[in-house]
Structure 1
Amino acid sequence: MRRRFLVYTVSNRDRRPQGRQGEGSRLMAERQSSGRTAPQKKTTKKKGKRKFTLRNTLIVLFFTGALVVLCGIIGYFIITLNGEKILNANKDQFNFAESSVVYDRDGNQILKLFTDENRENVEYSQIPKLLADAFVAVEDRRFREHSGLDFISIGRAVVKDIVARSAVEGGSTITQQLAKNMFLSHDKTILRKATEASIALALDRNFTKDQILEMYLNRIFFGQRASGIKAAAELYFGKEDLNDLEVWEIATLAGIPKAPSAFNPLSNPEKSKERRAVVLQLMYEQGLITKSQMDEAKAVDYDPDKAKRPNNTVFMAFVDYAIDEAMRVTNKTEEELRLGGYEIHTTLNVKAQTIMEDEFKNDDNFEKSGDEQKVQGAMIVADHRNGEIEAMVGGRDYAKNGWNRVVVPRQPGSSFKPITSYGPALQSGNWFPWSTLRDDKECFNGYCPSDSNRNKYIGPVSMSQAIKESRNLPAVWLLNQIGVGTGLEFAKNLGFNLSSEDRNLAIALGGLTHGVTPMEMTQAYSVFANGGKSVDLHTITLIKDKNGLTEYEYKAPKSKQLMSPEAAWYMTQILQGVTEQGGTGARAKVSGRPVAGKTGTTQHGIPGLKSAANRDVWFVGYTPEWTAAVWMGYDKTDKDHLLKKSSGQTVDFFTKVMNAAMKDMPKSSFKKPSGVKETKPPTGVNGFNAVYIQERGDVQLSWTAVEGSNVSYRIYRKEASEPDFKRILDQVDAIAAEDISIEQGKSYEYYVTAYDANTKLESASSAKVKVDIPIEEIQLPDDVLNPGDPNAPGNGQPEDGGNGQVPPDGTGQPDSGNPEGGQGETPGGSPGGEAPNGNDGESAPGWLDNGNSGNRNGNGNGQENNARGNKPGRGNNRPDAGNPHESSSTSIVPPQE
């Protein structure tokens, strides 16, 4: 049942009270009747305004100030009581911070970063006044005036923190630094800074300034695991007595605490020297030293041989590098990381590191020096599949001087050719391993490179062959073709920040302004090995604080395709050729694995010195799993400190370390991309034969033809005393040839290959054939050995046909120097005349063999002259100077150098 409701509306007019409102209604009605509308007025309640008088302002300020003073007093007492409480609780022991621990890749502890062995205490009376004053001048010049806190410095620090919006400025006094080192963690928080200030005030009330300075100098961190001034003096200068320190040494030590890893002279001698100059200037301005003392101390160069390292130096190069990396990723100081009780987990492969360090200790792996300066070296191994650094050694005596040469730039030589020449060419897609380059003696806008190969300037050469033999001209020629800018851009993508002065063709051969480091070379070659993808080399995987909380965990950045997979594959192919027979790195063999790599050698570059000795030698190579770089050379190169050997010694070192370190690792292979364009070379040549023909005095070569059009043949020869085969003839389109440039009593080895002019590919070598060339004995006639009376009939007179004087008709008389009638028989000339090929040859003159031996013409007319007259000879089939009379046979004349 639906209910109905009645709604009644009541007019406001019915509820208005009588009186003034009724009068208002009447007036409104009158105005409406007259046509005027009364304006509506909005009534608001007015609020009273509070007046701020001077009296009120003073009252507010008074109470505010009183509140601030009260809070300050309360805060001061709290800080004071807190500082006294902490100091009293630790007054008898003065505990040091907790040592951090480093772990290897398997979670095994390697070492603690700090032990009591790193610290030696010294009494204040044993500290020279100049040494103590130097630290005051640098670290806290108002040290003897304030009560533990320097409010001027604190104010400056607060302003800088506000500007930076973070705690970046310490503003700490010597007393505050002592408080931090004795009792506190190293984080920059307001609470920690307040506690530090409270302890500083307590220290200043309970100890004299000299006592505070003594404790400070015995506890401050000086880098390289040295804590305390005495340990630092012994470490860096080998001086146990602080009174033996010179002015420049004092200034060096005083400059270290600001940034121990950056300003210690072992790690960074140049930065240390710059910091020393700043300290000396402050000491001079505060009247501690004279200007002459300052100038003299600024000029001294640090000698790392004076350093004296502690005994606990296990895996030191790797650990020190890892600490530097940890500083970068956590934004903490070295002191904080070493003394903060952290767990630092690394990528260290203990097996590989141990093997590498053992090889560096073996002096037989390095050239012998003529004095105390050793030939140095550096090596790094990394897994390019994940970027983990497996091992590194920074030098033969890293434990002594702590100089990590893995991150020191040197000139890379030919090992840089893949970076600036071959790499960008392959990346362009216009060049391939089989592309033909030029190896000609040529200058490029005034730059005239030269080849160091025994067989120089061979003309056309494939990219694979050019890099295999490390030829210089093809690399420069190729960079000139693609453009220097292209080469620089490619190098930049691989991580090299080259100088603006390097915009020239010399970079194709590794001629750089500042050089590159083994670390950078490993990074770049890892890209080749990793299919063209970027590789982030690192040593730190995880860092936990003393409470077990994760401070940092490595996360690999997204990889970038720095070069196409096809270009990376081609690069690997041509670099594998370097490690094969005939390549400059042929001795690089790693446990039956495929190996690619490149050698590098730089000349000494000393003006006025004529020597074949070298400045730097390299080998950078990789397997499908690991990439490694090896460098050797002297730290300071001069005429007495040069390498006599070439890059072969770095190849041998690479092989020793990698073979042992990878012995039990699973083997893999380089992965070929699916889109690789690849043309097969011609099939190998069969039926190759080489025979010495005594009557002709040459070696006859023959073989079976291979299928295909535009196929020619290349003949290679090696004399027994030569290390490698040489190509002695190109583009032979016949199936036979002859070698006339031979010498009696020598042994030769030959092989032949097929070459396709369309694809510019060469086949594998044929079977090798060895040929021995005998020494021919010449029997002289009796009438020559016993000539008798020259005046007797029939002896010596031309009309009698005697043998004493040969008619001047060109039949063998050695008197004119004419090649047609000269003494020399073999091609290459004799004392009488020089044949076209320019080789020195010698045989019996034709007039001595009674007609059994002919005189072969040097001009290539293909005739032999008999001593008693002319007759057609075998020379018709033996063109000596490029004028063949028989198409199936070709004379071999070595290419002119």
Structure 2
Amino acid sequence: MSRDQLTRSGGNRNRGSQPSSSQGKPKKKKKRFLTKKRVLWSLFFSIALAIFCALGGYLFIMLNGQKLLDENRDKLTINPPTQIFDRNRNLIGELSLEKSDPVEYEDLPQMLVKAFVATEDKRFFEHNGVDLWSIGRAAVKDIAARSMVEGGSTITQQLAKNIFLNRDKTFFRKATEVSIAVALEKQESKESIITMYLNRIPFGGTTYGIKAASIRYFGKDNLNELKLWQIATLAAMPKGPSRYNPLRNPELSKERRGVVLQLMYEQKLITKEQMDEAKAVDYNYKPPEKKQRYQAFIDYAIGEAEDKFGLTEDDLNIGGYKIYTTMDKHAQETIEDAFADSDNFEKSVDDELVQGSMTIVNQENGSVVALMGGRNYEKKGYSRIDGSRRSPGSAFKPLVSYAPALESGKFTNDSMLSNEKQCFGKYCPNNLHGYSKSISMGDALTKSENIPAVWLLNEIGVNTGFQFAKKLGINLKDEDKNLSLALGGMSEGTNTMEMAQAYSAFANGGELREAYSIKSIADADDKTVYKANTKADRVMSEQTAYQMTEMMQRVVQDGTGKKAKINRPVAGKTGTTQSGYKGISSNRDVWFVGYTPEWTAAVWMGYDKPSKTHLLKNSSPLAAAFWGKVMEKALEGVPAKQFPVPKGAAPEVEATPTPEAVSAVTGFQAAYDPSTMTVNMSWNPAAASGVEYRIYRRETSEADFTPLMNTMASNIGDISAMPGLSYEYYVTAYYQELDQESEPSETITVSVQDELQTPEPEMTPDPNLPTDNPDNGGDSGNGENGGNPPDNGPGNNGSGNNGPGNHGPGNNGNGQGGDNGSGAATTPPEMTPPPAAATAEPLPTPEATTGTVDPGIIPDPNAGTDPASDPGSGFVEGPGNVH
């Protein structure tokens, strides 16, 4: 066979191995979807569509923009003014705009114009109304941040937005702004546009226009008199007229002013020296007083509308809304009258007033009944309701120690707690009224002892108390997780709104509703567009709330809150924070937070900027008395109720004691404790409930016994006994239902030592530490009677991360020490003292006196933070204590 035949034969064999259907047929090619022809046609139609859309957009911009500009040129608002109503739909105010005569371009200082251009639109004199470069830059930043972080609006667009008054947030509104901006640029000069802009834009509240703003915030109607820092303050406001209002938020205004000055410096409009000088100025202008009823509540409600419902001040000012609030007119007028009466406040040493704030909440629905953020409050002025956070001291004990302990099920209000002098690691709180092996929870809260509260928080776990307080609406930071939290140790403090809301859960049987001041908002067409959410959250059991109410009623009846008594049932807790200066026993903050079966309220008093010369001589009874005075009158006409008693919580009804049951008190003991200079007494409690104990005392040179004090507790301390003398004591039981007093107990004689006990070596102060430099430690530490840091804590301006310095840790250095601790603290040299501690709330008896307290603190290494960031309280007692 030839080679050709072999080849053909092999080829036939190979083909024979393939399927017969493919034999002798060429393979089909797949059809390509994207052909050159299709791509060209797609590009053609896309370009044509883009050109068509561009022409349509251009025509819209040219025609619609010019039309809207002509229609709205002389208009600022087309709606009636926004109206504010109280809870009964009575009109209490209107947001009428404050405008001044327009300013001509020639009367505008050039530095003022440059400041606004540098801040809002540095390419203003270069673009034609729309700055594509700025829009692109803003888009890139938004994409990088995955959110809207920067806008691209020019000054011309902002003016267009101000003229086109539809408040809807839509794409078409933005397109309309662009169309008007282009029309403005075609028709007006740059000078005319910047002048219209400055004459129309909002400057916080109801103030519109640059001249009105100059008058409002600086009292100057001649713009050429404005200084650089004042110009920069005004130029800082368009970014957020409410947020950067210098009257309402002076610190934020100063911070934003610095940004404006930095931009001006970078654009070579001012020198570095001018920038630094203008940055450093503090805003302290006070506008002329314009007294207007309900202004504090109106301003708070407007702020809530902005924060909760996304409305801007400008929206509210010109939107013609109807805002229905929760305000009770009588209660609000009562608060305003009380704040206007200087007799209700401690007299200041100079022109800086002792300030205060108060919030009243209806616990049943969470509505804010009345509030006041300070004395001499001005429209859109500084409000301490939400603008200031201060240490709550012992008013925090129920929230973080006692209530969560009850909720755990491991304790009741009759549980015995440790009251021995002790340290928790290196954290050593102190008591003012002496010590005992144990004390009931109710007595510990009534007397506001520190050690039981700290011991209890340690037992249930710091995180348990921390999370419980957060659940009640208290804004806590992670660095607050330490044992000093039991005594109010917080890095930033709290305010009366938070505290009133938290305590309302006790008053409402364990259910918490977020406090709110707006019931609903209707638009200009009377259509309801926003409504309050009054949903309740159960934050504790009814049993826990009931037991807390029982204990805090005793605080008002027999404890530190006696001054808050009114003609209704009251439960509550006092709070006091000490000076923070070594050797100065005055106070920074005083509180009373309490509730009736109808309303819950919180009161704070103190100086805005405490210093060695600006401290309170009084303690928490000052706030308790103010609370009682306001609440007694505010509740006039409100039907009286009783505190609710949950099922199964009612105490067993005991038979009325018979005269035969009235027996003398047994187990009476009395002994002098030289370390606290207190005569501590205890006895066996009577079997019947509601028994009052009456303590009698006689100094050995006196002829007769005289009443010393009355108490419902079965132990007490006499801190008025004088050194070098001897005293005789006995106690009787007074049965209130029988109006009968028992026979005296046995009489015990106690000799009071003439000299103070020599301090233990580890309590001796370090002579190498400075003792009189308020700038080096504890300068702003706050605490509730448990000891303050000596003036030697290292740190940088009170940074929570750098250790306690000028102002303690965190923002305000609000470390606490306890409601009733006293004594000179001595910190070993190797230990860094955390900030601040608390002042004493003495037992409310005529004989009880307090003296100088030299506070100091030893930090707790087990608190979860290092000493530099622990705003702890409590201290080791040392020499020099006088009660």
The bucket for the TM-score relative to the shorter chain is: 0.7 to 0.9
Q: 2:640 and 2:696 mapped to 1: Cα distance?
A: 46
Gaps of 5+ in 2: 1-18, 672-677, 688-692, 716-731, 756-882
Where does residue 387 of structure 1 map in the other structure? 366
Q: 1:777-788 alignment to 2 at 5 Å? A: none
Superposed, 1:443-842 pairs within 5 Å as 443-453=423-433, 456-557=434-535, 559-580=536-557, 582-590=558-566, 592-606=567-581, 608=582, 610-676=583-649, 678=651, 704=663, 712=666, 728-731=681-684, 742-745=700-703, 748-749=706-707, 765=735
Q: Which SS does the other structure have where 1:403 is aligned?
A: coil
CA distance 1:44–1:272, shift in 2 (3 Å): same
Instruction: Name the CA distance, whole Å, in 2 between partners of 1:195 and 1:536.
Output: 39
> Residue type matched to 2:184 in 1?
L
> Shift in Å at residue 490 of structure 1?
1.9
Percent sequence identity over aligned pairs? 48
User: In the aligned structure 1, how far is the partner of 2:624 from the partner of 2:654?
Assistant: 29
CA change 1:441–1:426 in 2 (3 A) is: same
* AA matched with 1:84: Q
The farther-off stretch of 175-184 and 492-501 is 492-501
- 1:651: Cα distance to partner? 1.2
Question: Match of 2:216, as an amino acid?
Answer: L
CA RMSD of aligned residues (A): 4.0
Question: Which residue number corresponds to residue 76 of structure 1?
Answer: 58
Task: Indicate the residue corresponding to 2:6 in structure 1.
Answer: none
How many Å separate the matches in 2 of 1:181 and 1:307? 29
Q: C-alpha displacement at 1:614, in angstroms?
A: 0.6
Contact persistence 2:510–2:545 (CA under 8 A):
yes
Q: Partner amino acid for 2:663?
A: T
Q: How does 1:143-162 map to 2 (within 5 A)?
A: 143-156=124-137
Q: What is the one-letter code of the residue matched to 1:584?
A: T
Shift of 1:755: 9.2
Deviation at 1:492, TM superposition (A): 2.1
Match of 1:264 in 2: 245
Aligned to 1:694: none
Over 3 Å counting, the alpha-carbon distance change for 1:169 and 1:101 in structure 2 is: farther
> Judging changes above 3 Å, is the alpha-carbon distance between structure 1 residues 498 and 555 closer, same or farther for their aligned structure 2 residues?
closer
Alpha carbons of structure 1 residues 248 and 46: separation in structure 2 relative to 1, 3 Å: same
- Conserved 8 A contact 2:696-2:705: no
Which of 370, 375, 400 is residue 396 of structure 1 equivalent to? 375
CA separation of 1:40/1:335 partners in 2, compared to 1, >3 Å: closer, same or farther? same
Distance in 1 of aligned mates of 2:330 and 2:39? 77
Contact kept in structure 2, 1:712 and 1:754, CA below 8 Å: no
- Helix, strand or coil for the counterpart of 2:563? coil
User: Do 2:513 and 2:534's aligned partners in 1 also have CA atoms closer than 8 Å?
Assistant: no
Aligned-partner residue type, residue 247 of structure 1: L
Deviating more after overlay: 122-131 vs 630-639: 122-131
Distance 1:313 1:127, change over 3 A: farther
- The reply to whether residue 231 of structure 1 matches residue 206 of structure 2 is no
Q: After the TM superposition, which residues 55-70 of structure 1 pair with which residues of structure 2 at under 5 Å, given as runs?
A: 61=43, 64-70=46-52
1:288 partner amino acid: L
Q: 1:87 aligns with which of 46, 50, 69?
A: 69
CA distance in structure 2 between the partners assigned to 1:680 and 1:108 by the alignment: 47
- Between the aligned partners of 1:732 and 1:59, the Cα distance in structure 2 is 100
Q: Pick from 407, 415, 420: which aligns with 2:395?
A: 415
Contact 1:438 1:459 in 2 (8 A): yes
**Distance in 2 (alpha carbons) for counterparts of 1:733 and 1:107:** 55
Distance (whole Å) between structure 1 residues aligned to residue 184 and residue 648 of structure 2: 73
Q: Could you tell me which of 173, 176, 179 is aligned with 2:160?
A: 179
Q: CA deviation at 1:372?
A: 0.9
- Change in Cα spacing, 1:553 to 1:617, as seen in structure 2 (3 Å) is same
Are 1:684 and 1:764, in contact at CA under 8 Å, matched by a contact in 2? Answer: no
Query: How far 1:448 moved relative to its partner?
Result: 2.6
CA distance in 2, matches of 1:650, 1:139: 46
CA distance in 2, matches of 1:738, 1:197: 86
> 8 Å contact 2:418–2:438 — kept in the other structure?
yes
Of 381, 402, 411, the match for 1:431: 411
What is residue 828 of structure 2 aligned with on the other side?
none
| 2:118 aligned to which of 137, 161, 185 | 137
Structure 1 stretch displaced more, 324-333 or 60-69: 60-69
Amino acid at match of 2:439: V
Given residue 380 of structure 1, which amino acid in structure 2 is its aligned partner? T
Output the CA distance in 1 between the equivalents of 2:308 and 2:710.
Answer: 58
Shift of 1:433: 1.8
Displacement of 1:48: 9.0
State whether residues 684 and 753 of structure 1, in contact with CA within 8 Å, keep that contact through their aligned partners in structure 2. no
* Structure with larger RCO (C-alpha < 8 A, sep 6+): 2
Q: 1:127 and 2:83 equivalent?
A: no
The offset of 1:294, in angstroms, is: 1.5
Measure the CA separation in 2 of the matches of 1:554 and 1:424. 29
Q: In 2, Cα distance between the equivalents of 1:148 and 1:621? A: 58
Separation in 2, partners of 1:601, 1:732: 31
Q: Who wins on radius of gyration, i.e. which is larger?
A: 1
Question: Could you say if the C-alpha distance between residues 447 and 165 of structure 1 is closer, same or farther in structure 2, counting changes exceeding 3 Å?
Answer: closer
What corresponds to 2:727 in structure 1? Answer: none
Displacement of 1:751 in angstroms is 9.2
SS across alignment from 1:512: coil
Which secondary structure does the structure 2 equivalent of 1:260 belong to? coil
Distance 1:491 1:751 in 2: 35
- Displacement of 1:182 in angstroms is 2.1
Kept in 2, the 8 Å contact 1:265–1:302? The answer is yes
3-state SS of 2:124 partner = coil
Query: Cα distance 1:827–1:679, how it changes in 2: closer, same or farther (>3 A)?
Result: closer
Q: Is the 8 A contact 1:618 1:630 kept in 2?
A: yes
* Whole-angstrom CA distance in 2 between matches of 1:260 and 1:103: 24
Question: How far, CA to CA, are the matches of 1:362 and 1:751 in structure 2?
Answer: 33
The answer to whether the Cα contact below 8 Å between 1:329 and 1:552 also exists between their aligned partners in 2 is no
> After superposition, where does 1:30-41 map in structure 2 within 5 Å?
none
Judging changes above 3 Å, is the alpha-carbon distance between structure 1 residues 51 and 663 closer, same or farther for their aligned structure 2 residues? closer
Q: Do the aligned residues in 2 keep the contact of 1:262 with 1:268 (CA within 8 Å)?
A: yes
CA contact (8 A) 2:358 2:373 kept: yes
1:362-377 correspondence runs (5 A):
362-377=341-356
- Rounded to whole Å, the distance in 2 between the matches of 1:238 and 1:457 is 59
| Compared CA separation, residues 684 and 755, structure 1 to 2 (3 A) | farther
> Match for 2:311 among 332, 342, 347?
332
SS of the aligned residue for 1:579 comes to: helix
| CA distance in 1: counterparts of 2:49 and 2:290, whole angstroms | 59
Decide whether the 8 Å contact of 1:753 with 1:764 is kept in 2. no
Secondary structure in structure 1 of the residue aligned to 2:663: coil
- Among 384, 402, 424, the alignment partner of 1:405 is 384
Relative distance call for 1:733 and 1:486 in structure 2 (3 A) is: closer
Any gaps of 5 or more consecutive residues in structure 1? 1-36, 689-702, 706-710, 718-724, 773-825, 829-834, 841-896
Distance 1:605 1:190 in 2: 56
State the secondary structure of the residue aligned to 1:262.
coil
Q: Is the 8 A contact 1:682 1:754 kept in 2?
A: no
Question: What is the one-letter code of the residue matched to 1:319?
Answer: I
What CA distance in whole angstroms lies between the structure 1 residues aligned with 2:701 and 2:452?
33
| Distance across 2 between alignment mates of 1:839 and 1:167 | 73
